[in-house]
Amino acid sequence: MSREVVTSGKQIGEDQVGLGIIAAMAALALAAVLARKQKYRRLAQSSGTVTAARRLNRAAGTLAFSVLFDSAIEHYRGSFHNKAMYTPLVVSSLALAVSAHGVNDERSEMHRLRDAIYVAAAVIGAIGTGFHIYNVAKGPGGINWQSVFYGAPLGAPAAIALSGLLGAAAERIRDSDPHRPRVFGLPAGRLAAAIASLGLLGTTGEASLLHFRGAFHNPFMFLPVTLPPVSAALLAETALGKQHRSRWFTRWWLRLTTAMGFVGVCFHAYGVHRNMGGWRNWRQNVLNGPPLPAPPSFAGLALAGLAALTLVEDRPDA
């Protein structure tokens, strides 16, 4: 980096702009790859619900993966001072395992154990959110910027709850009438779209808070607070709007959001490098720096959105 950049207060040098362009191209390439495969995966009428369910399993697994590694790192950093801090590791490991099982399961019926684990993840995620709210509120001054910046993150346990919710929905879609899939009595595709939409909004809130804490010192930190809300809005329209045969813009935007979720790991890896000692000091900086496993939670939710979108597009009544 040039000396002017170091001292002028500007945060971005040519190298970073270059990195951003490469990242954007990688994201587009990934989106294009996903799009090409999509043609072959267009749902046959008979197995449509199974495919949709497997995609939701995949989304739930991506979220569980993100939660597993994020909670492992953050709770290790917190020295597991409360035994309950092991809970998300167990729950997200199980959710990840059953998601993998679900992705490879082509049967069109609910799997009892998978479903039980997903439902448990949803419930425990909700309880964990309560724990985190308590942690944030107990400091001096109650809930204020200091406590929400540095207390337990409110959105993190919610992510495992979302994983469970998406998984539970997947199990119920398998069980549904392929021509008229229903979950909890509601149209399955629209319900999944709504869950993904709300999840994206919540995750955006979390990213906004933490990127604000980092003073948006790098302009790329604005990406996860601008792309996902648009995805959320598009999915809300999918959930509530009229039936369309093709929502190409929504699909592309969700692919972009998915790619961003994965590319975000690279940005966070760069952020780790900018801490004292960089990657040579990884044992400290992986804990101090931006959380590496966090961005894929966007990908998980966007993948859920894509699964929901296909269901809605293919089945007027879903």
Chain residues binding another protein by CB under 8 A are: 1, 3-11, 139-141, 145-146, 149-150, 212-215, 217-218, 271, 274-277, 284, 288
Closest distance of CB 303 from another protein, Å: 30
Helices 248-273 and 14-41 sit at what angle, rounded to 10 degrees? 140
* Tokens coding 265: 């790991």
* Tokens coding 46: 């008979």
Nearer to another protein, 226 or 288 (CB): 288
Nearer to another protein, 176 or 285 (CB): 285
Closest distance of CB 285 from another protein, Å: 9
* Tokens coding 199: 């999840």
Nearer to another protein, 214 or 219 (CB): 214
Nearer to another protein, 130 or 277 (CB): 277
Closest distance of CB 304 from another protein, Å: 31
Nearer to another protein, 178 or 289 (CB): 289
Q: In whole angstroms, what is the distance from residue 241 CA to residue 258 CA?
A: 23
Closest distance of CB 289 from another protein, Å: 9
Closest distance of CB 264 from another protein, Å: 17
Is the Cβ–Cβ distance between 63 and 297 less than 8 Å? yes
Closest distance of CB 275 from another protein, Å: 5
Closest distance of CB 232 from another protein, Å: 25
Nearer to another protein, 138 or 244 (CB): 138
Closest distance of CB 5 from another protein, Å: 6
Paired residues of 187 in beta bridges: 182
Nearer to another protein, 87 or 218 (CB): 218
Nearer to another protein, 218 or 250 (CB): 218
